[in-house]
A and B are shown apart, each in its own frame.
Chain A
Amino acid sequence: MSSIAETFRRLQANGEKAFIPFLTAGDPSIEITEQLILELDRIGADIIEIGIPYSDPLADGPTIQEAALRALNAGVRMPHVLEMVRRLRPQVKASLVLFTYANPVFQWGVERFFETAREIGADGVIIPDLPLEESQEALAAAARNGVDLVPLVAPTSQQRISKLCAQGQGFIYCVAALGVTGVRETVNEDLPQIVANVKQHTDLPVAVGFGVGSPEQAEIIGRYADGVIVGSALVKRVAPIADALAAGDLELLEAKKRELVEFAASLKAPLRQSRAGV
């Protein structure tokens, strides 16, 4: 059983839902990302998505675009991120998932990328611009290396859902809203139906992301999904950390880090007890 499957099984046994935070690696520095991931693990993050910064992040809204730009401007490239994951692996309980666009994987070499992922102890990979039709090589490489290639299911997937689920590994990443990543005020009303629809096609856990930004939203989604993914709402709280670092204000930097971690903890809290069936 993969580490991700193990994580969901443990949560299910405890009546909990997965809290899955996302951070862009190297925003604003590898060192700070590393500290934040340790803190996220400490406050109970179950799976941590680590974004590999990319120059042209098509699926991301302005918040994560800016984060990627901060990391790239700091000189962060693939090898730095992979080395960070290698260092973190023995120190964290959470499953670690690499979030990357297709081109960096392609340039690293698809087979080599999944070998490296296994070797550094990454548990899963998400590639938002690699739809199923282009995934065969990656799926095979992932399977050979025991790393889960997590598929995305969108509100527009409709009749595609069954084949997406059939090839799924780890969990199903259910995209909550049309559009790119970014916080939205309200949760898509059709979301419970979409999740229910996905669950008809798979026994894999279903986690919901895109647009989730508050403990209230996490609580609502936790009623029907197995996990809640929060990206932009957290990354938005990295921006002041970056500003503090740039200003050399270490006190402010620590304060902003604590704010982020407290916010993350507030997202995990409503997921600790299952509301399903209540």
Chain B
Amino acid sequence: MSTTTPDQRGRFGNFGGKFVPETLMNALEQLERDYETYTKDPEFIAQLRYYLNVYSGRPTSLYYAKNLTEQLGGAKIYLKREDLNHTGAHKINNCLGQGLLAKMTGKKRVIAETGAGQHGVATATVSALLGLECTVFMGEEDIERQKLNVFRMKLMGAEVVPAKSGTRTLKDATNEAIRHWVEHVEDTFYIIGSVVGPHPYPMIVRDFQRIIGDETREQILELEGRLPDTIVACVGGGSNAMGIFYPFVNDESVKLIGVEAAGKGIDTEEHAATITLGRPGIIHGSLTYLLQDEYGQVQPAHSISAGLDYPGIGPEHAHLAETKRATYLPITDDEALDAFQMLSRVEGIIPALESSHAIAQVVKLAPTLPKDHIIVVSLSGRGDKDVHSVAQALGGIDV
């Protein structure tokens, strides 16, 4: 059985830990204590439940994708509709949790990093809701790719700070957020958006996202009377995947597939296939798989999807990969674009480019499986934010 609770050092097997400047160690220790205290507090639990249900609209549905199933002619496909959350992605589950934690521990100000902008939007949303001051760090290149989300954040009162260092994407936004946190650690709560970063963040984010898997379990038992055979989710940092995987980790019959962004192909230099092509290293405070050169310099990742454009991965995924409990497979930009269009056309659901990677894997997989095989796909977000860049990528469409 896979061990999935981090040990005292914050390790999932060989991965995880706290590789951060000494300045942050006290804050991380405090966060561990606060997390322990508040997540057992009935008041915290009741408030979180209230906001998840009444504000975000949970539970999200588990939708039988009949048209897609018939078109692919194999396994039975269900979509876990995280795209139906308020703000259009699973990110809000975690932001409500961490935002409440910030609020209850008396912090007036939060910061966040964002890639596609979904986590930034979710953080800005929760900040508006809870009356917190909010600053979001976003790579300059991503600001360009995701103008709509930048506008949404500003509309809700957040300050958006461009990260101009390095590759000017999610990795650098995270560097900037950590640097900012080191300077303002005494009055600022850092809401990390994925199952990455130093302990206890990978655990905290997973725990706030496991509601995806908990609901899926209940819903599939109700609909099918049994557990699914396969669960598929896209992985950048890996929070939607960890959220849907986690409640099934001990059910050996359930195959877990994480889908990485292969960008222009795993035989090129432009990809974000961390498990497929990386090796253990340290990024953003955590020991995990990492795209790097032989001397440990972090290599730039590439994906058409800003949310998957990340050279690391959550340490618990690294552990699930090393212990072979989960499998991680690459999907290219082109395959994701095809899946983006296919789901739109067949089901009338426009998926986020991130989620399109998971759909693309299902498009490959489902036809090879019998009709009584049940696949659940985490549809982690809606694709409205991506329409502009998809139109550009497909060419000839003037938006």
Contact = CB atoms under 8 A, between A and B. Distances in A.
A184 B294 CA distance: 36
Contact of A178 (B23, B166, B297): B23
A180 B182 contact: yes
Interface in B186-224: 186
A131 B22 contact: yes
Interface stretch (B12-20, B77-85, B368-376): B12-20
A156 B188 CA distance: 14
A131 B295 contact: no
A103 B21 contact: no
Interface in A203-245: none
B6 interface: no
Contacts of A169: none
Given A156-B185, A178-B186, A179-B179, A108 B22 contact: no
A278 B20 CA distance: 39
A154 B182 CA distance: 10
A157 B296 contact: no
B23 A107 contact: no
A58 B25 contact: no
B201 to A, nearest CB: 15
B60 interface: no
Given A56-B166, A179-B179, A106 B22 contact: no
A156 B292 contact: no
Given A56-B171, A106-B282, A153 B294 contact: no
Contacts of B27: 156
A130 B296 contact: no
Interface string B165-191: 110000100010011001111100000
B100 interface: no
B175 A156 contact: no
A103 B283 contact: yes
Contacts of A192: none
A56 B175 contact: yes
Contacts of B23: 154-156, 175, 178-179
Interface residues of B, number: 37
Contacts, number: 122
B281 A103 contact: yes
Contacts of B21: 58-59, 128-129, 131, 152, 154, 175
Contacts of B9: 133-134
Interface in B292-308: 292, 294-298
Interface string A70-88: 0010000111000000000
B285 interface: yes
B26 interface: yes
B18 A78 contact: no
Interface string A111-128: 000000000000000001
A9 interface: no
A180 B292 contact: no
The prevalent SS among residues of B at the interface is: mixed
A22 interface: no
Contact of A129 (B185, B282, B295): B282
B22 A77 contact: no
A65 B178 CA distance: 14
Interface in B223-279: none
Contacts of A77: 295, 297
Interface string A144-182: 000000011111111010001000000000010011100
A65 B164 CA distance: 11
A61 interface: yes
Given A58-B178, A160-B25, A178 B183 contact: yes
Nearest to A79: B295
A104 interface: yes
B179 A180 contact: yes
Given A58-B175, A178-B186, A180-B183, A134 B281 contact: no
Contacts of B294: 107
Contacts of A8: none
A134 B17 contact: yes
Contacts of B185: 156, 178
A153 B296 CA distance: 26
Contact of A56 (B17, B26, B287, B298): B298
B25 A131 contact: yes
A107 B183 contact: no
A111 B27 CA distance: 30
A132 B29 CA distance: 13
A19 interface: no
B257 to A, nearest CB: 28
A107 B18 CA distance: 17
Contacts of A107: 281, 292, 294-296
A84 to B, nearest CB: 15
14 contacts: A55-B166, A58-B175, A59-B179, A78-B296, A101-B282, A103-B290, A103-B298, A106-B282, A106-B296, A131-B22, A132-B25, A133-B17, A134-B17, A179-B184
Interface of A: 54-56, 58-59, 61-62, 65, 72, 77-79, 101-108, 128-134, 151-158, 160, 164, 175, 178-180
Give the top 9 A-B pairs by smallest Cβ distance, nearest first.
A179-B183, A107-B296, A154-B23, A104-B296, A103-B296, A103-B282, A55-B297, A154-B22, A152-B22
